[in-house]
Amino acid sequence: MGNLRSVQKGFEAVGAEAIVTSDSKKILSAKSVVLPGVGAFKDCMANLEKLDLIGTVHQSVKSGKPFLGICLGLQLLFNQSEEFGQVDGLGILPGKVVGFKDAKSDSGEPLKIPHMGWNTVRVVPGNPLFDSVADESYFYFVHSYYIVPQDPAIVATTTCYGIDFASGIHHENIHAFQFHPEKSQRLGLTMLKNFSNLHH
């Protein structure tokens, strides 16, 4: 949903071949898989179901090949979202997706929702996607919900917006981020390049 073309262009800009497809065979034979998405959690899950891709996403993750989730593609990996009541996600990682309720700035002002624009990302050391990307670099965000993983060990990046929240995870072959590397200029492209160089 939404940002497929810009993600594809981002990969092409760093010399990777990227195809946009809903064909299970093509997805399962790819060297690595990207699940981008913007918009409503419920609509995106409904789309995946309609296209019969839920099993394909699970299989891609289980195969061990590099898997990248972007924005909604991060949130969908978890058990459920509280967006518009509770909606089940893919359940690949334990945890939930919650809204920025009552987020306040340091001066006590209510923060604007969605959290939109550039913000710093603190990186847990040793993540291969952040080779040549300095800690506390700025990346581009647009979201009203954030993930609360059950296992803090999978958190790869954190960001502060009224509260500290997990803005990225890394678990085995899964890399997923709330921010948009494809909209984050040079550093975002560096991340896409690093991802495209990962091997199964």
Peptide bond into 114 cis (omega under 30): yes
Mean predicted lDDT score pLDDT of the chain? 94
One-letter amino acid identity for 88?
A: D
71 has catalytic annotation: yes
44 has catalytic annotation: no
Confidence of residue 109 (pLDDT cuts 50, 70, 90): confident
Express each pLDDT in 147-158 by its tens digit: 999 999 999 999
In a 3-state reduction of DSSP, which class is residue 11?
helix
Q: What's the pLDDT score for residue 128?
A: 95
Q: At what angle do helices 54-62 and 41-50 cross, to 10 degrees?
A: 90
Query: Two tokens at 40?
Result: 């409503």
Catalytic residue among 12, 58, 180, 199: 180
**65: which strand partners?**
none
Catalytic residue among 44, 170, 175, 182: 182
Cβ atoms < 10 Å from Cβ of 41:
22
Confidence of residue 106 (pLDDT cuts 50, 70, 90): confident
Domain span at residue 33?
Answer: 4-196
Task: Decide: 148 and 163 in contact? Cβ < 8 Å.
Answer: no
Total number of domains in the chain: 1
CATH label of the domain that carries residue 181: 3.40.50.880
Of 57-66, 84-93, 167-176, minimum mean pLDDT range? 84-93
Radius of gyration of the chain (CA): 16
Task: Decide: 161 and 100 in contact? Cβ < 8 Å.
Answer: yes
Give the rounded percent of residues in the chain with a pLDDT score beyond 70.
Answer: 98
Q: What's the start-to-end Cα distance of the chain, in Å?
A: 26
Catalytic residue among 17, 58, 71, 199: 71
pTM of the model: 0.95
- pLDDT at position 2 over 70: no
